Amino acid sequence: MTKGKVAVRMARTVVLVAIMLLAAACGGGGAAPKHAPTTTSAAPIDEFVAKTRTPDPGAVGIGLTNISLSRTDKSDRVTFGFTGTAVPGWAVHYVTQAVSNTNTQAVFPVTGQSIIEVLIREAANPFETGVPPYAGPLILTDPTLATVGEVRYASALRGVTQAFIGLSTPQRSFRVSAQTDPVRIVVEVDHK
């Protein structure tokens, strides 16, 4: 078979495939139903499962500057503020014990019925980047909060900042989001 015949056959095959796909998309060429049912479905979101995010490429050498607590009508918020402009990554999940990610594997005494571990990735190692270490309080509490009993800063080691959120309740659904200008990671824990 010559190159010209092969090219013609390939062109015909491409045209036939395109016609078949178009016919399938239009309902096979038959009359369209007068009222096509519209259905949408989404998988339910399990707000108890771990939340993770990959850091932005420029999130290297950032440092934790502050941790703050606040309350809305439906949730308590723990906000972690950072230097820099890129959003770090995170792994936020429930744990049965607050275990340090340092070589000591020390267990922190976190007050509460349930504990959320917060690991924020690509945070600075102050000895390598010159970013000052976190200098705020190691334990934060706010008696006006409904769900969050305390937040305990644990460490910043090998590019990971670790903290624990002790809930004064059994496990609640939670969300994690990033905000910029300045860069903040917000863990929001529902009251109910």
Domain count, the chain: 2
**Bond preceding residue 182 cis, omega within 30 of 0:** yes
- Domain shared by 108 and 144, yes or no: yes
Question: Are residues 55 and 22 located together in one domain of the fold?
Answer: no
SS3 for the chain, per residue?
CCHHHHHHHHHHHHHHHHHHHHHHHCCCCCCCCCCCCCCCCCCCCCCCCCEEECCCCCCCCECEEEEEEEECCCEEEEEEEECCCCCCEEEEEEECCEECCCCCCCEECCCCCEEEEEEEECECCHHHHCCCCCCCCCEECCCCCCCEEEEEEEEEECCEEEEEEEECCCCCCEEEEEECCCCEEEEEEECC
Mark whether 15 and 105 lie in a shared domain: no
- Is the same domain home to 185 and 121? yes
The enclosing domain of 92 has a CATH number of 2.60.40.3500
Each residue's pLDDT expressed in tens, for the chain with a length of 192 residues: 544 443 434 444 433 334 443 344 444 444 443 433 333 333 344 566 788 888 888 888 788 999 999 999 999 999 999 988 889 999 999 999 999 988 888 898 999 999 999 999 986 655 566 778 899 999 999 999 999 999 999 998 888 999 999 999 999 999 999 999 899 999 999 999
- The boundaries of the domain holding residue 15 are 1-29
pLDDT of the residue at 5: 43
Q: 8 and 90 in one domain?
A: no
Flag whether 36 is in a domain. no
pLDDT at 30: 45
On whether both 85 and 128 belong to a single domain, the answer is: yes
Q: Encoding tokens for residue 40?
A: 């949408």
Q: What pLDDT is recorded for position 129?
A: 66
Say whether both 91 and 135 belong to one domain.
Answer: yes
In this structure, the answer to whether residues 65 and 21 fall within a common structural domain is no
In a domain, 110, yes or no: yes
> Does the model's pTM come out above 0.75?
no
Q: Based on the domain organization, do 106 and 152 belong to the same domain?
A: yes
Do residues 23 and 82 both lie within one domain?
no
62 and 120 share a domain? yes
Which pLDDT score, from 0 to 100, does residue 50 have? 83
Residue at 34 is within a domain:
no
Would residue 126 count as lying in a domain?
yes
The pair phi, psi for residue 17, each rounded to 5°, is: -65, -40
Is there a single domain that holds both residue 165 and residue 105? yes
Whose structure tokens read 């096509």? 36
Q: Does residue 150 lie within any of the structural domains?
A: yes
